[in-house]
Structure 1
Amino acid sequence: MGYQVPHKVGDRVGVGCFVDSCRKCGPCLGGLEQYCVEGPTLTYNGVERDGQTRTQGGYSNKIVADENYVLRIPDNLPMDRTAPLLCAGITMYSPLMHWKAGPGKKVGIIGLGGLGHMGVKIAHALDAEVSVLSHSLKKQDEAKKMGADKFYATTSSDQESFEKLKGYFDLIINTLSVEIDWNRYLNLLTLDGTMVVVGLPENETPLGAASLINARRSLAGSVIGGIRETQAMLDFCSKHNIASDIELLQIQKVNEAYPRVVKSDVRYRFVIDTKSLD
Structure 2
Amino acid sequence: MQTKAYAAYDSTEPLKSFNFERRDLKATDVHIDIAYCGVCHSDIHMAHNDWGMTVYPMVPGHEIIGRVKQVGTEVTNFKVGELVGVGCMVDSCRQCQPCKDHLEQHCEKGMTMTYGSPDAHMPGSFTQGGYSSQIVVDKDFVLKVSEKLDIKALAPLLCAGITTYSPLRQWNIKAGDKVGVIGLGGLGHMGVKFAAAMGAHLVMNTTSPAKGEDAKRLGAAEVLVSSDEKQMQAQAGSFDFLLDTIPVAHSFDPYIPLLKFGKTLATVGATPSDMHTMGLVFGRKIITGSLIGGIKETQEMLDFCAEHNIVSDVELINIQDINQAYERVMKSDVKYRFVIDMQSLQQA
The TM-score by the shorter chain falls in which range?
over 0.9
The residue aligned with 2:193 is 121
CA distance in 2, matches of 1:174, 1:236: 22
Q: What residue identity is the alignment partner of 2:128?
A: Q
For residues 14-29 of structure 1, the aligned pairs below 5 Å read: 14-29=85-100
Could you give the per-residue CA deviations for residues 53-93 of structure 1, whole angstroms, max 9, x where no partner exists? 21110111211000000000112122210000000000000
Q: CA deviation at 1:180?
A: 2.5
Could you give the per-residue CA deviations for residues 184-229 of structure 1, whole angstroms, max 9, x where no partner exists? 211110012100010122x3x2222221121221110001100000
Could you give the per-residue CA deviations for residues 30-60 of structure 1, whole angstroms, max 9, x where no partner exists? 0000111111111122222366321110111
For residues 250-269 of structure 1, the aligned pairs below 5 Å read: 250-269=318-337
Q: Secondary structure at the match of 1:44?
A: coil
Q: What residue identity is the alignment partner of 1:268?
A: Y
CA contact (8 A) 1:246 1:268 kept: yes
- Say whether 1:168 aligns with 2:225: no
For residues 1-278 of structure 1, the aligned pairs below 5 Å read: 1-5=71-75, 6-49=77-120, 52-155=124-227, 158-201=228-271, 203=272, 205-278=273-346
Q: Secondary structure at the match of 2:78?
A: coil
Q: What residue identity is the alignment partner of 1:222?
A: S
Q: What residue identity is the alignment partner of 2:176?
A: G
CA distance in 1, matches of 2:211, 2:281: 34
Q: What residue identity is the alignment partner of 1:166?
A: A
The TM-score normalised by the length of structure 1 is 0.96
Q: CA deviation at 1:96?
A: 0.3
Deviates more, 1:29-38 or 1:47-56: 47-56
Gaps in structure 1 of 5+ consecutive residues: none
Q: What residue identity is the alignment partner of 2:150?
A: P
Could you give the per-residue CA deviations for residues 206-258 of structure 1, whole angstroms, max 9, x where no partner exists? 22222112122111000110000000000000000000000000011112222
CA contact (8 A) 2:224 2:232 kept: no
**Fraction of identical pairs, as percent:** 48
Q: What residue identity is the alignment partner of 1:104?
A: G
Runs of 4+ in 1 over 4 A off after TM superposition: none
CA distance in 1, matches of 2:221, 2:117: 39
CA distance in 2, matches of 1:192, 1:212: 9
Deviates more, 1:7-16 or 1:174-183: 174-183
Q: Secondary structure at the match of 1:49?
A: coil
CA distance in 2, matches of 1:241, 1:38: 36
Q: What residue identity is the alignment partner of 1:142?
A: D
